[in-house]
A and B are shown apart, each in its own frame.
Chain A
Amino acid sequence: MRVGRYVLDFENRPSVAAWSAVAGKKEGEGPLGNLFDMVIDDILDGRDTWEQAESEFQKKAIGILLDKAGVKDDEVDVIFAGDLLNQCSGTGFGIRGYNIPFSGVYGACSTSVLAMINAAIAVDSGLFKRAISSTSSHFCSAEKQFRQPLEYGGQRSPTAQWTVTGAASAMIASDATNCPVIERAIIGKIVDKGVTDSANMGAAMAPAAAQTIADFLEDTGTVPDDYDIILTGDLGKVGSELLYELLENEFSLNIRKVHNDAGLMIYNLEEQDVHAGGSGCACCGVILCSKILGDLKNGKLKKALVVATGALLSSVSPLQGESIPAVAHGVLLTNGRGNDEK
């Protein structure tokens, strides 16, 4: 069922039956490090290349997910997954050993939520009983593809963000009980406000996040205080401030009290020297699939609106003078114990 112009309301309330988060050493040393299912200290994870390591992370995340959900791979009907690497190769190589029909999705750093929306639509339709959503990113493979070689001696801008090394997966199921449910979702529109600085992704993505949050609240007739948390994916310090200002100036909405950003939660910004915060597909992914879903399960949170943001640039588009188009997708997760308004 549709609510308003853009919001999808899932009548069958697909459940998030299980979730898993695998993270790298730096993420493990962050403030939420103890919540991840696995922290892999070796950045190569015993493989030969960064790309193989990223695939290995995603393979492990799905392995843990299957264990936690207590199902075998061939009992899963479909997997929606993607990552930042060309042709979503981090995902393709990572899950090639699993016996699960695969549908690739690309939303840059919004992939975690985009994949989850796909899985929720699939399960809600009744055509799929179990669907996995999964994503990964790796600092080194992202740097190699989008920026400079790792050992290159350059300085990072204070607005630059640090790509999270990790992978996150969630099992969306029609038959699970006593677990968080996906009530609503919104697929965002591409917003491009002309930002060309690829070292300031937060600024490029903030308008997309503002648009999606405003659309969601308008369509559902709700206000920010109706939610325990509005979590954005990887806006970081600069993008979060711009998000507040855009929502206040353009939409008369104030989300400061309920907002947090996965890019600000995953690291100790100053101590871990990550400048404006975390980014990457796994940034929103591992926070969603550890802290947020965990808190929904244990009752600390009742309603969480998770809006992941993605910058849809390529490795050549900034050089060709293009600005950075951005998109933000949202899911409303609730604790699933009766859907009483807060």
Chain B
Amino acid sequence: MDISNKKYDEMVKKASPPSPIFKNCIWAFGVGGAICCFGELMFKIYGMLGMDTLETRTMVSVTLIVIAAILTGIGIFDKIAKYAGAGTVVPITGFANSVVAPALEFKSEGFVMGTGANIFRVSGPVIAYGIFTSTVFGAIYYIVQRIML
């Protein structure tokens, strides 16, 4: 077949329907926004229960993580995420899902070599480069602070 890879690539692009970006954005905005509103609501509730700001922040994250983990476990999270897309991925719910999903999936290979070895399969890059970046910026922050003083 004579067709060049470049020409075929153009054919493929023409034949392949694009992702419905506008629809995806609306869904992401709606669901992501709803999750954030829920977080804000929890923030107020925990505040009313007498927690200080630092505690309420932690508790809001923990609440969202627990809910996302449970929804993943009972097989609902992926059905919501199918529509919500970035709306469920970007908040901490996406991180919780990306830890629980492989933990469940690889349970069949045992708790050590299955769940244990694969639990960070999806979230691993975020954790690794998150720690790396925070270390670098922490160091920069420290040095800049010293110079300023």
Q: Which residue of B lies closest to A158 (CB)?
A: B17
Most buried by B among A144, A151, A241, A246: A151
- Is B16 a contact of A200 with CB atoms below 8 Å? yes
Within 8 Å by CB of B8, from A153, A154, A193, A214, lies: A193
CA distance A210 to B3 in the complex (A): 12
- CA separation between A149 and B12, bound complex, in Å? 28
Q: Kindly report which residue of chain B lies nearest to residue A152, judged by CB atoms.
A: B101
> How would residues 1 to 25 of chain B score, 1 for a CB under 8 Å from any chain A CB and 0 otherwise?
1110100110110011111100010
Asked if A48 is at the interface of the complex by the 8 Å CB criterion, the answer is yes
Q: Is the CB of B3 within 8 A of A193?
A: yes
Whether the pair A203, B16 counts as a contact (CB closer than 8 A) is: yes
Are A155 and B85 also in contact (CB < 8 A) when A195-B12, A207-B8, A245-B11 are? yes
| Complex partner residue of A153 from B11, B73, B89, CB under 8 angstroms | B89
**Known contacts A157-B19, A159-B17: A149-B1 contact under CB 8 Å:** no
Q: Mark A188-215, 1 if CB is under 8 A from B, else 0.
A: 0001011100001001000100110010
Q: Is A144 a contact of B105 with CB atoms below 8 Å? A: yes
Give the shortest distance, in Å, between A139 (CB) and chain B (any CB). Answer: 13
Residue of B nearest to A140 (CB): B105
A158 touches B19 (CB 8 A): yes
- Bound-state Cα–Cα, A152 to B106, Å: 13
Interface residue? B97 (CB, 8 A):
yes
Q: Are A152 and B122 in contact (CB under 8 A)?
A: yes
Point out the residues of chain B lying under 8 angstroms from A151, CB to CB: 72-73, 75, 77-78, 97, 100-101, 104-105
Question: Given that A245-B15, A250-B3 are known contacts, is A153 also in contact with B108, CB under 8 Å in the complex?
Answer: no
CB distance from A279 to the nearest CB of B (A): 15
A152 contacts B17, CB within 8 Å? no
Total interface residues in chain B, CB < 8 Å: 39
Residues on the B chain within 8 Å of A214, using CB: 1
Residues of B within 8 A of A207 (CB): 1, 3, 8
| Cβ-defined contact, B97 with A153, below 8 A | yes
Category for how many chain A residues contact B: 20 to 34
B82 within 8 A of A: yes
- Against A, the Cβ 8 Å flags (1 = close, 0 = not) of B110-122 are 0000000000011
Given known pairs A194-B5, A207-B8, the reply for A153 and B77 (CB within 8 Å) is yes
A49 contacts chain B at the CB level, 8 A cutoff: yes
B72: A residues at CB distance < 8 A: 151, 153
Q: How far is the CB of B93 from chain A (nearest CB, A)?
A: 8
Query: Which A residues touch B84, using CB under 8 A?
Result: 153
- Given the interface pairs A48-B108, A153-B88, A238-B15, the reply to whether A193 lies near B82 with Cβ below 8 Å is no
Q: Are A250 and B2 in contact (CB under 8 A)?
A: yes
- Interface: B81 (CB within 8 A): yes
- Tell me the complex Cα distance, A49–B105, Å: 9
* With A158-B17, A214-B1, A250-B1 already in contact, 14 other A-B pairs whose C-beta atoms are closer than 8 Å: A149-B106, A151-B78, A151-B101, A152-B78, A153-B80, A153-B82, A155-B19, A155-B81, A158-B16, A158-B18, A193-B8, A203-B16, A207-B8, A246-B1
What are 22 A-B pairs at a CB distance below 8 A?
A49-B108, A148-B101, A149-B104, A149-B106, A149-B121, A151-B73, A151-B77, A151-B105, A152-B78, A153-B80, A153-B84, A154-B78, A154-B89, A155-B81, A158-B17, A194-B8, A203-B16, A207-B1, A210-B1, A238-B16, A242-B12, A245-B11
